[in-house]
Amino acid sequence: MKKIFVLILLTLSLFAEKIIIQLDVNVNECGDAKITWTQKATAFQWKMLVQKYGNNPALLKREIIASLPGYELTNFSFKRNDIERTMIFSFDAKGVVKYKGNGIWHFKYEKKFTPRKISPTEWFFTDTENEGNISAEYDISLKLPKRAKKAHLTTNEFDEKVLEYFLKPTIFQRISIVTYIGIGLIFIALVLALIALFYKEKSKTVDIKK
């Protein structure tokens, strides 16, 4: 997730000013998320942002897609407020939270981030980094589904930091999962059938030659 911040840092790195990058992540019950990236800027920073992205939001869209190859991104939206010197870029991302089975979900975050619980379904992650003349503050507001329970911090099987919560899939989600499994099994069965048919025909050809 943090990779998309690099785009702004590269654009604003000419100025020895603090850069505050805000990301709002609203997760639904399927583990997908609506992500809103709000970028406020000083007068100098705004000039650079407008010069690169202001009249060409498609460029920012391409860069975000390239920086997040692990997600399917759709429904892009771009808003620009010159008076408040703010750009708002939002999009949908599939699979932001991973389903581990038995009603358990994992949201992975980078080790440098400091997590803070706001409510049972809302968390805040922050990190500040200084590199050269750049001082960057990263703020991520994470909102879980309303039915999410027992949210807590832990590590996964790869010793990566995750926010774990419990949310039992609805009947529609179960049907969807079963459907995908069924399609997968049908595909495997077809492949095996074709392989068997191939070897059967090959065997017949050999017998005829004999």
* Domain boundary assignment for the chain: 2-169, 170-210
Q: Determine the pLDDT at residue 186.
A: 46
Q: Determine the pLDDT at residue 192.
A: 58
**Positions in the chain whose pLDDT score sits under 70:** 1-17, 131-134, 170-210
Please report, in angstroms and rounded to a whole number, the separation of the first and last CA atoms in the chain: 63
Q: Determine the pLDDT at residue 68.
A: 79
- In DSSP terms, 73 is beta-bridged to 93
CA distance linking residue 25 with residue 106, whole number of Å? 14
- For the entire predicted model, the pTM comes to 0.75
Q: Determine the pLDDT at residue 183.
A: 41
**H runs (alpha helix) in the chain:** 5-12, 43-49, 57-67, 171-209
Q: Determine the pLDDT at residue 1.
A: 58
Q: Determine the pLDDT at residue 111.
A: 87
Provide the total of helices (H) and of strands (E) in the chain, helices listed first.
Answer: 4, 11
Q: Determine the pLDDT at residue 178.
A: 47
